[in-house]
Amino acid sequence: MCPKNKRNNRRTLLLFVLCPFFALTIFSFIFFKNEKAEEHLLEIKTPDEAIADLKNGNLRFLENKSVHLNYAHEIDLTKKEQHPHTLVLTCIDSRVPPEIIFDQGIGNLFVARVAGNIEDDNILGSMEFATTIKHTKLIVVLGHNHCGAVQGAIDNVGLEHLTQLTSQIKPSINPHKTYPLSDYTIDDTSRKNVVLTIEKIIKKSATLEHQLKNKEIKIIGAYYDITNGKVAFLENNVVLK
């Protein structure tokens, strides 16, 4: 047998041996990812479990170990029902995608978005639907740094409908601010806006206040850093420093 044929035979034999191994490895990886994703699609029963799931999800996101990547599989799992454990109220900023930064699958989150993550009657109604009808356990008001809506409120930007929106952010502005504005001034206002929004939610919705007092739900604040992907959670609504 010529050397060329021997080499070809070796390659054929090697492929014959290795192909099943590679196929099994790929299958195992996909199965592991799907199994992990299914674990996180299970119903969460307490607010603290929901908080822990969000924290763990953000850690996976930061470590580039997200498990919710097989969207076709998750669509199939959730086509008949959904069990969102958390409603996230956040800004419309395109750099703040809650499902991704918390590594949550399809069916895990209700997401309400409005510039400056402020509340209004429609947002409150959505929250009441989530907690009362769908038994969502957690509400998160998620702010972020370098927020354009907050900067617009500080700069008194006025437009036809934007003016009334930024007016809801203005109570969070430090009246002793100095110019030129620093990133800290804008971000400090954003943090305070998260806390103020939570206070308004509780004050304006007797339904949510009742559920909160009965410990059926929790309402917490969080703050996303768009420069590094990390979410910081507010403890007892204390303004983050």
124-127: long-range contacts (C-beta < 8 A, 24 or more apart)? 124/201, 124/204, 124/205, 124/208, 126/87, 127/87, 127/89, 127/201, 127/205, 127/208
Judge whether 91 is annotated as a binding position. Answer: yes
CB 221 within 8 A of CB 141: yes
Tokens of 40: 């996180």
Judge whether 2 is annotated as a binding position. Answer: no
* Gap between the Cα atoms of 62 and 90, Å rounded: 19
* Gap between the Cα atoms of 33 and 60, Å rounded: 13
Judge whether 19 is annotated as a binding position. Answer: no
Tokens of 2: 């010529």
Judge whether 161 is annotated as a binding position. Answer: no
Which strand ranges, in their side-by-side order, compose the sheet holding 138-144?
109-113, 86-90, 138-144, 218-224, 231-233
- Amino acid residing at 145: N
Binding site for Zn(2+): residue ranges? 91, 93, 144, 147
Binding site: residue ranges? 91, 93, 144, 147
